């Protein structure tokens, strides 16, 4: 049996986030389009050479690189550009491409949402019934580039047609056939051009095949791949799935493709059961996704070897690819530059480069019964065992707190309708109160001063005085704008998860462990490696100082336990539920400290609540039960008159309203600006009885919405939200925006809210 090591995809941001710098340099006119394209090419080729040097047998060429987002790449390659961008056909230029991603003057961006259950956000393609065309086969360009300049015959990768259709908006059951009739010839033409250029394999990524599919959808998939087989008899397609087990395995494993990639990390149990029951087609290559592409922990190579050999023993494939469970874009590039981590922890880590080395080592051993490298099996086991014995994982105080939890810790003593009346009397807020989600722009000066403090170039008192001055300035700005509930601005926070992790026990932080969240927005997820414990107040000082500067209420701002969990790289030796409870208990103490300090409104953000869901609905209940409980464990400690807010991002409201309601938060703000009309329709059919603020403008775009635009959105929202529930806010935090954009947008938002109040008074009169 032939074995080959390969990867589904590699991080495209560069070891030092070079990609981000070039992208933002182009947006800010610091480099020309030609310079931008040249730097992108240099990075693409550099990534290919680097993966080959690490020992991969087969290197992926595209799918691990994009100018912004791969779904957007496909949409523009097929000429799927909404009418509002005034696209006239042909190759889509960069200004239109980035306008679709970020918006532009006078035109809103396309919707953005989470890529399955990850923290990566993709641009949602919009189909408007237009004629589609192959505008530019960028996959062919990249394949040819690698062939001519590096002498590499690479493996092009593309998001498959079923997944692309599943994630596109603008069609319904009546028009899906029309959509596919236009789309399939373009895929076929793309693949034919790649084959003609010498591509030996084409990787077609179909993560949507792990979802719960209807019989009609299964038949649709079969028809798609039947057409590929008939039209492209010489093309060797590796059909790649990931994130869970393949649905309808018996039927879909027999599609007419040359290879099938399965996830044996997150889909291990189901995929193993399918193999045992149905076997594996002898005429196909099996891709074994065995190294976890979504966490940062070193693989136990002996254990992984046993699993691969068990899989090979029950399948009859003549060729096997040993690969990551999914693209490595979800992990940092390398741990080699991490020089400040404690040695026990660093030895137990594995980022993208290290995972590629693990793939090579596994493939080498299973092929030759000989380990390449120096004692790699024993070294991996020693590193894993050393971390397991670390004192950070033996915290008796945390263990005792968990054991003392009872039902009363998970609910507030008074129902919402009664709390609302009490809070209205205490808070004295106007109708349609205005607020923001929490953060304000972090200017170059803020970042400079913070860096100087971290580098010991200024003292802590000097740093704190700067933060106080910046907070005071923004309190004054908010009062001038006329906002009703203020925030302190979060100028001390680098990241909404990292900030809290730095103050809690059990967390560690990298210097360069960046991953992409959306566009050029990169984050450094903390590493939860030990028991989580609260030891010191984290936010009280800043919020209380801000509250002293104004007679209006200032919100306390915390990140919720499930979001901290889902936006961190989490230990894998205990259940995620247990880690979430530890975080919730720590945050519960902070919530209590804020309330005792006189803060009457406390926001506990859970933008990643939905992100942790299993991909199939039938598996949701267990996760939702403990996820909701951990939020309530955090917030139920307060008095009835203290108002609890929460915030969520890009949430499919229709199928998620019951868990949101179960949180029992007094006010929910939800990120909806790019899909506002859809949420309005959802609320018409799914009444929501607690306080709610629908995001009235898109903070991911630099454009300033007009008063009329926001007023229109508010009037639409009035149809589904009662006056005493209705809050007015942007759709997310404002940290990444510029000050002039932020002030202008909020002024227009407050003016629109005033119009709403005036209209209500005129109606009453």
pLDDT tens digits for 211-253? 999 999 999 999 999 999 999 999 999 999 999 999 999 999 9
| pLDDT for the residue 694 | 85
Rounded-to-integer distance, Cα 381 and Cα 109, Å: 48
Partner residues linked to 319 by β-bridges? 2
Confidence category of residue 327, pLDDT binned at 50, 70, 90: very high
Which domain, by its residues, includes 648? 416-444+479-764
pLDDT tens digits for 12-24? 999 999 999 999 9
- Tell me, yes or no, if 700 is annotated catalytic: yes
Domain boundary among 208, 232, 256: 232
Q: Does 259 map to a domain? A: no
Burial label for 407, CB within 10 Å (0-12, 13-18, 19+), is exposed
Q: Does 713 map to a domain? A: yes
Confidence category of residue 764, pLDDT binned at 50, 70, 90: very low
Binding residues for L-homocysteine: 437-439, 490, 605
Tokens 């039947």 belong to residue: 226
Asked whether 533 and 463 are in contact (CB, 8 A), the reply is no
Query: 420-443: b or e for each residue (b if 16 or more CB lie within 10 Å)?
Result: beebeeebebeebbbbbbbbbbbe
Six-digit token pair at 45?
């080729």
What residue spans of 197-266 are helical by DSSP H? Answer: 215-231, 249-252
Q: Does 564 map to a domain? A: yes
Would the pLDDT of 406 be above 70? yes
Q: Which one is catalytic: 370, 488, 700, 715?
A: 700
Binding residues for 5-methyltetrahydropteroyltri-L-glutamate: 17-20, 114, 119, 521-522, 567, 611
Where residue 95 sits, what CATH number does that domain have?
A: 3.20.20.210
Number of domains in the chain: 2
Q: Does 263 map to a domain? A: no
Binding residues for Zn(2+): 647, 649, 671, 732
Q: Does 53 map to a domain? A: no
Would the pLDDT of 680 be above 60? yes
pLDDT tens digits for 446-477? 999 999 999 999 999 999 999 999 999 999 99
Six-digit token pair at 121?
């956000």
Q: Does 335 map to a domain? A: no
Q: Does 238 map to a domain? A: no
Confidence category of residue 700, pLDDT binned at 50, 70, 90: confident
Region for residue 726 given its phi and psi (left: phi exceeds 0; alpha: psi -120 to 50; beta: otherwise): beta
| pLDDT for the residue 59 | 81
Domain boundary among 232, 248, 265: 232
CB atoms within 10 A of CB 369: 7
CB atoms within 10 A of CB 582: 27
| pLDDT for the residue 676 | 65
Q: What is the overall mean pLDDT for the chain?
A: 93
Binding residues: 17-20, 114, 119, 437-439, 490, 521-522, 567, 605, 611, 647, 649, 671, 732
Binding residues for L-methionine: 437-439, 490, 605
Would the pLDDT of 628 be above 70? yes
Q: Does 455 map to a domain? A: no
Asked whether 419 and 638 are in contact (CB, 8 A), the reply is no
Burial label for 480, CB within 10 Å (0-12, 13-18, 19+), is exposed
In the chain, what percentage of residues exceed pLDDT 90? 83
Domain boundary among 232, 260, 280: 232
């Amino acid at each position: 049996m032939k074995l080959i090591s390969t990867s589904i995809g590699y991080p495209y941001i560069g070891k030092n986030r070079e990609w981000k710098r070039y992208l933002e340099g182009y947006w800010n006119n610091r480099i020309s389009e030609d310079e931008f394209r040249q730097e992108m090419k240099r990075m693409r080729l550099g990534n290919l050479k680097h993966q080959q040097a690490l020992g991969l047998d087969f290197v992926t060429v595209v799918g691990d690189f994009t100018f912004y987002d791969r779904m957007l790449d496909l949409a523009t390659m097929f000429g799927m550009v909404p009418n509002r961008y005034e696209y006239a056909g042909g190759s889509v230029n960069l200004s239109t491409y980035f306008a679709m991603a970020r918006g532009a003057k006078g035109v809103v961006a396309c919707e953005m949402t989470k890529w399955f259950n990850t923290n990566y956000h993709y641009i949602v393609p919009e189909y408007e019934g237009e004629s589609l065309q192959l505008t530019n086969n960028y996959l062919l360009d990249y394949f040819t580039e690698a062939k001519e300049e590096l002498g590499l015959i690479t493996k092009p990768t593309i998001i498959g047609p079923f997944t692309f259709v599943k994630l596109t908006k603008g069609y319904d059951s009546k028009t899906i056939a029309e959509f596919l009739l236009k789309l399939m010839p373009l895929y076929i033409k793309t693949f034919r051009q790649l084959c003609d250029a010498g591509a030996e394999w084409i990787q077609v990524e179909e993560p949507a095949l792990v979802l719960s599919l209807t019989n009609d959808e299964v038949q649709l998939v079969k028809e798609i791949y039947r057409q590929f087989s008939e039209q492209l008899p010489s093309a060797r397609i590796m059909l790649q799935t990931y994130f869970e087990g393949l649905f309808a395995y018996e039927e879909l494993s027999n599609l007419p493709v040359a290879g099938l990639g399965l996830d044996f990390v997150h889909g291990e149990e189901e995929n193993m059961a399918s193999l045992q029951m149905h076997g594996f087609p002898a005429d196909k290559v099996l891709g074994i996704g065995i190294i976890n592409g979504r966490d940062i922990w070193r693989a136990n190579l002996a254990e992984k070897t046993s699993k691969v050999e068990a899989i090979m023993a029950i399948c009859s494939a003549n060729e096997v690819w040993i690969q990551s469970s999914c693209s490595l874009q979800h992990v940092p590039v390398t741990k080699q530059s991490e020089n400040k981590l404690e040695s026990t922890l660093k030895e137990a880590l594995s980022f993208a480069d290290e995972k590629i080395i693990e793939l090579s080592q596994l493939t080498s051993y299973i092929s030759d019964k000989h380990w390449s490298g120096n004692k790699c099996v024993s070294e991996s086991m020693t590193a894993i065992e050393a971390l397991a014995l670390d004192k950070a994982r033996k915290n008796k105080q945390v263990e005792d707190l968990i054991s003392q939890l009872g039902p009363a810790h998970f609910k507030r003593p008074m129902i919402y309708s009664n709390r609302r009346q009490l809070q209205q009397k205490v808070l004295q807020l106007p109708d349609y109160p205005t607020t923001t989600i929490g953060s304000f722009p972090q200017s170059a000066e803020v970042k400079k001063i913070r860096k100087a403090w971290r580098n010991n170039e200024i003292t802590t008192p000097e740093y704190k005085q700067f933060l106080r001055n910046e907070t005071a300035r923004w309190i004054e700005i908010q009062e001038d704008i006329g906002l009703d509930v203020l925030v302190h601005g979060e100028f001390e926070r680098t990241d909404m998860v990292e900030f809290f992790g730095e103050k809690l026990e059990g967390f560690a932080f990298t210097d360069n462990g960046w991953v992409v969240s959306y566009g050029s927005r990169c984050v450094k997820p903390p590493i939860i490696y030990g028991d989580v414990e609260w030891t010191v107040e984290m936010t009280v000082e800043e919020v209380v100082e801000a509250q002293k500067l104004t007679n209006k209420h200032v919100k306390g701002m915390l990140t919720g336990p499930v979001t901290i969990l889902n936006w961190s790289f989490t230990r894998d030796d205990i259940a995620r539920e247990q880690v979430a409870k530890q975080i919730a208990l720590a945050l519960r103490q902070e919530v209590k400290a804020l309330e005792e300090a006189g803060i009457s409104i406390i926001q506990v953000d859970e933008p990643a609540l939905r992100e942790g869901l299993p991909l199939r609905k039938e598996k949701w209940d267990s996760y939702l039960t403990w996820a909701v409980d951990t939020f309530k464990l955090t917030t139920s400690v307060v008095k009835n008159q203290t108002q609890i807010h929460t915030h969520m991002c890009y949430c499919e409201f229709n199928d998620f309203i019951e868990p949101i309601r179960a949180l029992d938060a007094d006010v929910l703000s939800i990120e909806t600006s790019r899909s506002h009309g859809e949420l309005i329709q959802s609320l018409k059919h799914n009444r929501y009885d607690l306080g709610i603020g629908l995001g009235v403008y898109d903070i991911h775009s630099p454009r300033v919405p007009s008063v009329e635009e926001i007023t229109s959105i508010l009037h639409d929202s009035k149809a589904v939200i009662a006056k005493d529930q209705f809050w007015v806010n942007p759709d997310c935090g404002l940290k990444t925006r510029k000050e002039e954009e932020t002030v202008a947008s909020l002024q227009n938002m407050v003016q629109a809210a005033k119009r709403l109040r005036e209209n209500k008074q005129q109606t009453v009169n």
